[in-house]
A and B are shown apart, each in its own frame.
Chain A
Amino acid sequence: MSVGILRLQTMCVCEDNCDSEDSDGVPCIDVEDPPCYEMCQDSDNGPND
């Protein structure tokens, strides 16, 4: 269980959101939900871009 990172309901870092075969205690990590009609921002702004 991480420390210091708050799980607001607005976040989706979900330990229970993996497929069952992945449930080996390692947490899943997801990107946050982008607003509708918004694309991930440019490469200067985010690691997934």
Chain B
Amino acid sequence: MYTRLSAPLDVQWELTPWCTYNCVHCYNYWRRGKRPKRILTEDQLAVRRKTATELLDNKVFHVTLTGGEPLGVIEQVLPELRQLASAGVHMSINTNLALMTPKMGRLLKELGIRSILTSLISANEQINDEVAQQEGAFKRTMAGIKLAVSLGFRVSVNMVVSQKNFGTIYDTGKLAYLLGATVFCATKVSKPSNCDDFIGFPLNREQLRSMFHELIRIREDFGVEVASLEHYPACVFPNSETRTMFGNRNCSAAKTSCTIGFDGNIRPCSHAPMSYGNVAEDGLSTAWVEMDSWRDDSLVPAICKLSCGEYPDKCGGGCRIESLNAQKGVSGDDPYSIGAKPTTKRSVARVKLLDPTVAVQLQPKVRFRKEDFGFVAYRSSTNWVAMDTILYDILVPPKPVSVIDVATIYQSSEDDALETLSILVAKGIVQII
């Protein structure tokens, strides 16, 4: 069903299992029991060197540095990160900012990192530190956010919402806004795969719906951009407004992205416990091919495939790991789905058609990767286009391109050519000149 790209477009790279905190909800399940060491061993560094090589060889466009707490080891893996940066691989980082310093800020900027996703558990200090299982966590993250904002980073604050902090969503969003966050995200907690007893943490369906409403209230009251960072089944949204705002994420696991763990194991996503190969032993390409079951519909619940009608264009069928962790198996129903066709709709903006007389030219920051079908033109994880070789040859090398040029080469109508260039402009692949 899903085209197998030659490699992921985006990879989440877990630099370390070590973390400053020990959050009870952390999906990085390896941190149960004995806490890992911060200093990487020579063997661990060898895995990171190999990971960087594989990311480059497979022409991965974007890497999210994560962990554990990536700032704890970033200086140790600096040679590999510099290698990625110098090759044009874009990077962002998911960090709790407890270790943020001006020196760290300079280092991140040297790597081209401008965007930080951080985690703030609650505006209530006591709740925050209890969930983080670390006294002082609230103060450290607050200071880190302030510093990162003052250094000019685009900081998005994510709140993992569980029963423990559910009542503080609004206050936490307000705090994030006051701290200067560009975006406030609230994302429901997911049961860690190796956690047998997660009673007292997961939200119920109504609380999840309330979380969406709270996000909208935060946006309306403070004008801050809001988001939720996971794929939800379309049928869980209470109305079209929440579905339009928070139904924009599909499951990208093994379709456009995957995770390389601290141990080199390659997983479909960061939540997934199953590995399809090791970067040092098998390589990224082999593991990527092994993940075909994530692309061929076989893991999608029957009700989504056969009777709902929203899959695959309008809903991805919910989270496979939520199902797995709810003891329903990886192809079971997402526990938040209602098992019925949604009555809500997701509005998507119409493409703004260009003036047919304009000329466009390739945006200099667009990168290309050859694929079986032609090329992927990549601007960011949300703005990329798959195109055939003819269109690639029209755009590359960069030169002025008109509607008539495209219509002539494709022997198409000018309306079709105009639509093509309009989509490319909307996605930032070309710019009007």
> A residues near B, CB below 8 A?
1-14, 16-19, 22, 26-49
Contact check: which of A18, A32, A36, A43 meets B382 at CB < 8 Å? A32
With contacts A6-B387, A38-B229 taken as known, whether A44 is within 8 angstroms of B156 at the C-beta atoms is no
Q: B266: shortest Cβ distance to chain A, in Å? A: 14
Query: How far, in angstroms, from A38 to B346 measured CA to CA in the complex?
Result: 21
Distance, CA A14 to CA B314, complexed state (A)? 9
Q: Which of B34-42, B284-292, B410-418 contacts A (4 or more CB under 8 A)?
A: B410-418
B269 and A10 contact, CB distance less than 8 A: no
Q: Which of B250, B251, B416, B426 is close to A12, meaning CB atoms less than 8 Å apart?
A: B250
Asked whether B270 lies within 8 Å of A41 as measured between CB atoms, the reply is: no
CB contacts (< 8 Å) of B384 on chain A: these are: 32
Cα–Cα distance between A30 and B423 once the two chains are bound (Å): 10
Known: A5-B387, A22-B350. 14 other contacts (CB 8 A): A8-B373, A10-B386, A14-B314, A16-B313, A17-B346, A27-B351, A35-B253, A37-B229, A38-B117, A42-B92, A45-B380, A46-B380, A48-B382, A48-B428
**How large, as a class, is the contact surface on chain B?**
35 or more
Per the bound structure, the CA–CA distance linking A9 and B4 in Å amounts to 10
Residue of A at shortest CB range from B348? A28
With A3-B391, A14-B313 already in contact, the answer to whether A47 and B379 are too (CB < 8 A) is yes
Q: Would you call the interface of chain A mostly helix, strand, loop, or mixed? A: loop
Chain A residues near B391 (CB, 8 Å)?
3-5
Q: Bound complex: CA of A33 vs CA of B348, how far in Å?
A: 13
Q: Which of B220-262 contact A (CB under 8 A)?
A: 227, 229-231, 248-253, 255-257
* A9 pairs with B428, CB closer than 8 A: no
Q: How far is the CB of A17 from chain B (nearest CB, A)?
A: 5
Neighbour of A29 across the interface among B252, B350, B416, CB < 8 A:
B350
- A41 near B12: Cβ-Cβ < 8 Å: no
Query: Could you tell me which residues of chain B, from 49 to 99, have a CB within 8 Å of some CB in chain A?
Result: 62, 64, 66, 90, 92, 94
Partner of A17, one of B3, B313, B381: B313
Chain A contacts for B210, CB-based, 8 A: none
A34 surroundings in chain B (CB, below 8 A):
10, 249, 252, 381-382
Residues of A within 8 A of B424 (CB): 5
Query: How near does chain B come to A33, taking the closest CB pair, in angstroms?
Result: 4
**Cβ of A35 and Cβ of B269 under 8 Å apart?**
yes
Query: Beyond A10-B3, A13-B423, A47-B379, is A36–B249 a contact (Cβ under 8 Å)?
Result: yes
